[in-house]
Amino acid sequence: MENKKLEMASLLLLIGGVISILNAFGIIISKVFLLISNQLVMNAAMDIGWMVIAIMFPICIGIVGVVISRLVKQKVTIGYCVVTLITAVLSFYVSNILIAVFYLVGSIQLLIAIKNNKEKES
């Protein structure tokens, strides 16, 4: 990978993915300690739906970021940029804004890398 923008995009997507996965594990740990300390067994059944969304969404976003950061090292396409932009928007609304910024900047770096590769080919 001689393109610095491509390396930076891969690193940003990897960092965003790892932070998203760690965010999900933080939610799990805090919720377990909250349930243990307050003994809210009756409210645990009502929190199941919220827990699935609050835990599974950051894990899925994190996996997408890690996978795309690895795929970009092999071959960069415009599809990876689109997927990264969609995950950035979704994580902005549902998850952490820091993760959205990492994905957004990573997708911009990917677009610049694609543009530079097309200019080198012509």
Q: Is residue 37's pLDDT more than 80?
A: no
Model confidence pLDDT, tens digit, residues 69-94: 999 888 888 888 899 999 999 888 87
3-state helix, strand, coil in the chain (%, to 5): 90, 0, 10
Q: What is the pLDDT of residue 54?
A: 77
Under a CB-based contact definition with an 8 Å cutoff, are residues 13 and 73 in contact?
no
Q: Is residue 42's pLDDT more than 70?
A: no
Q: What tokens were used for 42?
A: 């009756």
Q: Please report which confidence band the pLDDT of residue 33 belongs to, taking 50, 70 and 90 as the band edges.
A: confident
Q: Is residue 1's pLDDT more than 50?
A: no
Nearest to 115 by CA among 83, 73, 80, 78: 78
Nearest to 3 by CA among 122, 88, 97, 111: 111
30: Cβ–Cβ under 8 A, 6 or more apart, which residues?
Answer: none
User: Mean pLDDT across the stretch 21-25?
Assistant: 89
Q: How many domains does the chain have?
A: 1
Give pTM, 2 decimals.
Answer: 0.82
Q: What is the pLDDT of residue 24?
A: 87
User: Mean pLDDT across the stretch 48-67?
Assistant: 84
Domain that holds residue 33: 4-121
Q: What is the pLDDT of residue 27?
A: 82
Q: What is the pLDDT of residue 55?
A: 83
